[in-house]
A = this chain, B = another copy of it.
Amino acid sequence: MKKEGCGIAGIALTQGNAASPIFYALYALQHRGQESAGIAVCSGGAKGGKENEISGWKKDISLKKGMGFVYEVFSTQQLESLEGNIGIGHVRYSTMGASRVENAEPLLANYRRGKIAIAHNGNLVNALELRSELEREGRIFHSDTDTEVMAQLLAKELMRHDPIGAIKELMKCVVGSYSLVILMDNTLIGVRDPLGIKPLCLGELKDGGEGNGEGYIIASESPAIDTLGWNLIRDVRPGEVLVIKPSQGSRRSRVAENDLESHQLYRGVNSAHCVFEYVYFARSDSVLDGRLVYDVRMKMGKRLVEEQGVEADMVSPVPDSGTTFAIGYAKRSGIDYMEGFIKNRYVGRTFIMPEKASRDTAVRLKLNVVQANVEGKRIVLVDDSIVRGTTSRIIVDYLKKKGAKEVHLRIGSPPIIAPCYLGINTPTRDELLASKRTTADICEFLNADSIGYLSMEGLIDSVGIDANNLCLGCLTGKYPVEIPGEVCIARQLKLTQF
């Protein structure tokens, strides 16, 4: 179905090992990627800012990564063997075919002054071009990732600049979405692209229980912070670079500025937050840009009633993606909320369906119709979005076969008409159900009694962010960065002086 990008987390503790909390954070971000997981840690920090004089620092970075869920990649024993108070972690999306451990992150590389580890969520639109340039300098690449492109650029710039200067140069070159956590020089660095396309947030541990002292976390979504029992401070700002050096001296004399530096390298007039984080990607308990996603989705569901209300006997979600929308719809419409489907909670990552099994069987393994709930009923079936429509069609048929009288599809977002170049792995235009079909055609194709999409206004109002600050590329075909062959509504960005 829909594929997510990746999830990242970086943690800096004043004492204790970072690997366990990173593991928990990745656990909470597992929905952003199930293909591979990795954690890199090192010992970091400084007494009075003079880290170079202290010979005792272990500068080396330890890395462990592998294919599979976070809990499959890491045993307790392995977590304990990853020693160091700062670290970063990554979960990667699941794709067909070319999934290889070489592409798993964090990427670890040796450069002139030591080791550097990088974890990335996003997609560069000029990665191939940058890679060609680097290869023309005689460089070699070990993976197919744009993360390695950034690592090479960074290593190159670090010859001439300090870390912040090098990151600034990196940000001048790369175009696209990138939320990064970086481990270098015993320091944790967080970077969010100037348009803030992919989410990234900052949290802290004040009175660290469990022997962890105090700490900071930079993560893709706030539930990673909640899971640790830490506190969300704020989003990382578009164009902002955060540098965290955990002080290991007396906590009393700590001067906060030494620990957490913010460098606002870019200041944009506008940003371009991915609207699909609100619609589908983010957990509903995430707080993005100060907004609870659950609340946004409830609003979308309610708005659907206003825009596309229909008489019916029950409101059912397509679990789990449509659940919050459906609760909102039910509340506003006064129609009973009732589960038409029960989802199998044990559908596994690794199972590959026998070839001869039909698509129907694949859907039935995941979703079972509660026949008695749907028999003879007029059903409002609520989902977040429709991509190819293949599954939606089977689901509608399934309901009807089990006796549903009417099935009215209500979709919590406008039609997807264009590819996404800033997340990953979306279908081509031809594969998108809505790219070349009228709503009536779609309704017929899906065998539904009616279909109602949320309007663009409804979407934007529900999110509560001005359209000029959202990326609506997949819904409008107009993108916030230049992409060859596509329409661009560029945002204004200013590089800061410092």
Contact = CB atoms under 8 A, between A and B. Distances in A.
Interface of A is mostly: mixed
A339 B294 contact: yes
A151 B141 CA distance: 10
Interface stretch (A345-353, A382-390, A462-470): A345-353
Contacts of A337: 327, 330-331, 337
Given A138-B111, A227-B364, A294 B373 contact: yes
A113 to B, nearest CB: 8
Interface stretch (A155-163, A193-201, A304-312): A155-163
Interface in A368-382: 368-373
A435 interface: no
Given A28-B368, A344-B30, A324 B350 contact: no
A358 to B, nearest CB: 7
A158 B140 CA distance: 11
Given A110-B141, A159-B136, A337-B327, A354 B28 contact: no
Interface stretch (A68-76, A261-269, A410-418, A426-434): A68-76
Contacts of A20: 354, 357
How many copies the complex holds: the figure is 4
A50 interface: no
A238 to B, nearest CB: 23
Contacts of A353: 76
A284 interface: yes
Given A331-B336, A345-B320, A368-B223, A138 B110 contact: no
8 contacts: A70-B348, A76-B355, A109-B142, A110-B144, A111-B138, A223-B368, A227-B368, A327-B338
Given A28-B344, A30-B344, 19 more contacts: A27-B344, A27-B346, A31-B345, A71-B347, A72-B350, A75-B352, A110-B144, A112-B136, A137-B156, A139-B152, A223-B342, A226-B371, A228-B364, A229-B360, A283-B368, A285-B369, A327-B338, A327-B339, A330-B337
Interface of A: 20, 24, 27-28, 30-31, 34, 69-72, 75-76, 79-80, 108-112, 116, 132, 135-142, 144, 151-152, 155-159, 209-211, 223, 226-229, 283-285, 287, 292, 294-295, 320, 323-324, 327, 330-331, 336-339, 342, 344-348, 350-358, 360-361, 364-365, 368-373
